[in-house]
Amino acid sequence: MKRQCVVIGAMAVICAILYSGIVHAPFILDDNSFIVNAPQIHVKNLSFSTLKTAATTGIPAHRPLPKISFALNYYFGGYLPFGYHLVNIAIHIFTAFFVYLLFTQVLFLLPAGGGNEKKIRTIALAAAMIWMVHPLQTESVTYVCQRMTSLSALFFVSSLWCYGEARIQMQRPAKKWKSAVFFTGAVLSGCLALMSKENAATLPVFILFYEWLFFDRVKGNRRLWISAAACMIVFSGIALFYLGPHPIARITGSYANRMFDLSQRLFTEARIVIYYIGLIFFAYPSRLNLDYAYPVSTSILNPPTTVLSITAICALVVLGIYAARKDKILGLAIFWFLGNLIIESSFVGLELVFEHRTYLPSMFLVLWIIRELAGKIRDKRVWIPVVCAVFILFSIFTYQRNKVWADPVSLWADCVKKSPGKVRPNFNLGCFLEKRRDYISALGYFAAANRIKPDFDQTHYHMGYCLGRLKRYPGAEKEFMRALALNPKNADARNNLGNVFAETGRPEAATAEYKKAVILSPKDASIRINLAGVLADIGKPDEAVFQYQKALLLAPENVGALNDLGYLLLQQGLTDEARHLLEKAVLIDPANGAAHARLGDLFQKTGDTGSAIRHYNRALLLNPIDAQTLYNLGIAYYKLGRLDDACGKFEHAHALAPGLVPPAVVRNQCEKFR
């Protein structure tokens, strides 16, 4: 127990160092679908009902355990990425620990014992540590939604380890009760693995393979053949459950939006499997990429590496069959690698390549390499320093790779550098630059994405948005119109086209676009706020009030809507209603200068000049160059007979906005305006 605590403690410290830089990295790609835009996991209270809803609704349909963990993360930390990353790192630590336990178990189960106990534990620990710090694992740990991969791997490995312990205890008559405990653990862990990701459907087959490799000592064992049949039935049942009542239609349907067909995918995946092996042996950061632009094999001979890769995989299978009797670790490593890729790297129409798919398959290849190294170089004073050097090198690579992952701009810039001809990296880099208000740089990447795929409406929308923020309204209008020509239901494009019309003095056209956008996206409060603003400007206050009220039903704490509606009601003489809204705005956001300024207007209108001055001063403390508020404060000071203060505020307001001059009666009393 002391040894195990030291091992897991060391793993925790190392992972904390290597992954410390990514704990605040924002959500990307599928994180938005599975977390940010997944209302079922946004739980406000913990109960069986809310967790059941999180587990059983939304996407992906058959992964309840990760979805529950996302719901718990949201409950305790909302949208802050810190907690999500912390859980991912913890899962990786525990996975590495069970990998160490399984490696130790396997080495002890070898016919020759695998060497003395100290050497076995050293090899197992070295292999587990190398696997843990391998830069290829960064995607599985740092990419939040790939918790599904790491969580499934954790329970997959722990299930196999529990099975092995159960079989070992069966051989010890005095401790057979422990066998039942470990068998129970194997079943529970296996179920949890299946609840995390569909890949775990291969677990029954690997348990059978593990049994045959290390525990079955009798040729022609009837029990083994019965177990084999049971495992295949279980595997087939799980596969059919996930594929649904129409498995062939579901498989063919998964290619509907792909640029390749089933045969092309199978040919391409043969090359990708070999590429994965190359990454395991040489994972220099410049070779790693979140979004690969991997060329498709159009036939078995195009490119020629396709047939070579298929031949290499067949050779690996033959080698695995031979090694299963001669070198059990190598046999296990080969079939573990190929078998755990078979679901995601075969007939299902998924994207071609992702590094997280190697998380589970890579494990035993690492053990075989370390064991071979220790076997060929018997002097531990030589092989241990070699392993330490690899460990340090991989740790540096992982730390470097995580520096790229830590910032979305650096991550997508890295993808653009490695996949310049792909739409998604250019588009996503543009989006993150847009969020940082670097509109000119963003436009460059949106333009690159548009050259690759001119018919993508979102690219035109974002180009229009950036041009609008740069006040290049003719160009913005053109891009929004192009986006709507490609997708008339793009509510954001209609809303922003309305903004362009409003900014260029075409309120009627703006109103028409806003109304169309409301129909397309009736639950978007921001569109209704824009519509209300332009309705108020064209003299339709009742319609404006209605839209503001609808917006506040959707977003009750939207300070902008509270301010605007309060001010509109104030202009209509409804001071009590206006005061309620404006005070609510200040309560929600005490640092909102506009709310304080409008409260000042309200108190000025109702004759409470002292309160008006207090709110005007608060507004100016937050925004010292608000000329209108300076002017209004001057009026308030004049009403109290504080002429010097009033003249000072009028002078400051006039300097900021020359059109603002005090009333004639005041102007005659102020030196500045005589």
Distance CA 55, CA 53 (A): 5
The SS3 assignment for 210 reads helix
With the C-alpha atoms ordered 145, 148, 151, 154, is the resulting torsion angle positive or negative? negative
> pLDDT value at position 236?
61
The SS3 assignment for 490 reads coil
Distance CA 317, CA 342 (A): 13
Q: What is the 3-state secondary structure (H, E, C) of 326-382?
A: HCHHHHHHHHHHHHCCCCCCCCCCCCCCCHHHHCCCCHHHHHHHHHHHHHHCCCHHH
> pLDDT value at position 227?
59
Going from N- to C-terminal start, the domains of the chain cover 2-27+79-401, 557-611, 625-674
> pLDDT value at position 219?
46
Distance CA 663, CA 610 (A): 21
> pLDDT value at position 318?
94
Q: Which fold has domain 557-611?
A: 1.25.40
H or E segment to which residue 137 belongs: none
Confidence at 218, pLDDT banded by 50, 70, 90: very low
Percent pLDDT > 90 in the chain is: 56
Distance CA 568, CA 658 (A): 26
> Could you read off the pLDDT of 542-576 as tens digits, one per residue?
999 999 999 999 999 888 899 989 888 888 888 88
> Could you read off the pLDDT of 312-350 as tens digits, one per residue?
999 999 999 998 888 899 999 999 999 999 888 888 878
Peptide bond just before 135 cis, omega within 30 deg = no
What mean pLDDT do residues 275-295 have?
92
- What 281-288 contacts at long range (C-beta under 8 Å, 24+ apart), as own/partner pairs, is 283/134, 283/135, 283/136, 283/394, 283/397, 284/397, 285/135, 285/397, 285/400, 285/401, 285/404, 286/418, 288/135, 288/136, 288/138, 288/139, 288/355, 288/401
The CA-based diameter of the chain, rounded to the nearest angstrom, is: 114
Distance CA 556, CA 544 (A): 17
> Could you read off the pLDDT of 629-661 as tens digits, one per residue?
999 988 898 888 888 888 888 888 888 888 888
Confidence at 384, pLDDT banded by 50, 70, 90: confident
> Could you read off the pLDDT of 421-452 as tens digits, one per residue?
999 999 999 999 999 999 999 999 999 999 99
Count of C-beta atoms within a 10 Å radius of residue 8: 16
**Backbone angles phi and psi of 331, in degrees to 5:** -60, -45
Please report, as a single letter, which amino acid is at residue 79: Y
What mean pLDDT do residues 294-302 have?
91
Peptide bond just before 81 cis, omega within 30 deg = no
| Contact in structure between 153 and 95 (CB atoms under 8 Å) | yes
